[in-house]
Homo-oligomer: A and B are copies of this chain.
Amino acid sequence: MSNITTTADGTTTIEADPKVPVIRMTRDFAGTPAQLVRAHTDRDLFVQWVGPNDSDMRVDYWDARTGGSWRYVAVDGSEEYGFHGCFHEVRDDRLVQTFTFEGYPDGVSLETMWFEDLGDGRTRLHATSLVDSFESRDAMLASGMEVGVNDGYAKLDRLLAAGSV
């Protein structure tokens, strides 16, 4: 087990691909692939964990099926930040969706999540974000995205531990 990142230390690996404008993330969870898919597709679960601790999330619309679409708003005091996209594919082990932060409305990334069954009720999430330039990719990395990612996954850890997923 020494090569498996444990959820105890809650480490998310975030890497910039050297060849293509892609961010790759890997994170282990104490849940099955089916639980992880549910946490990413069930509106009421998703809104409980996604995003940084200092934001409240409000889902505007949510239709997590192949060909569906979604929009949510992060509320941080008097500030609101919108995000939207469509679900290209929703299946048992893989999600593919588009993603736009509405503060940068012409920007769009293609997000792929693959859920690797590690056995013993554990799952490794492999996530990639693909954009059309290295400049956009590096701006995403420089934006502080890891705060929202790490806060969100820690909340998801707690939901899994509480038996809520």
Contact = CB atoms under 8 A, between A and B. Distances in A.
A73 to B, nearest CB: 15
Interface in A114-128: 128
A90 to B, nearest CB: 11
A69 to B, nearest CB: 3
Interface stretch (A2-10, A129-137, A143-151): A129-137
B88 A19 contact: no
A85 B133 CA distance: 22
Interface string A32-49: 000000000000000000
A132 B21 CA distance: 8
Which has the most chain B C-beta neighbours within 10 Å: A21, A63, A88? A88
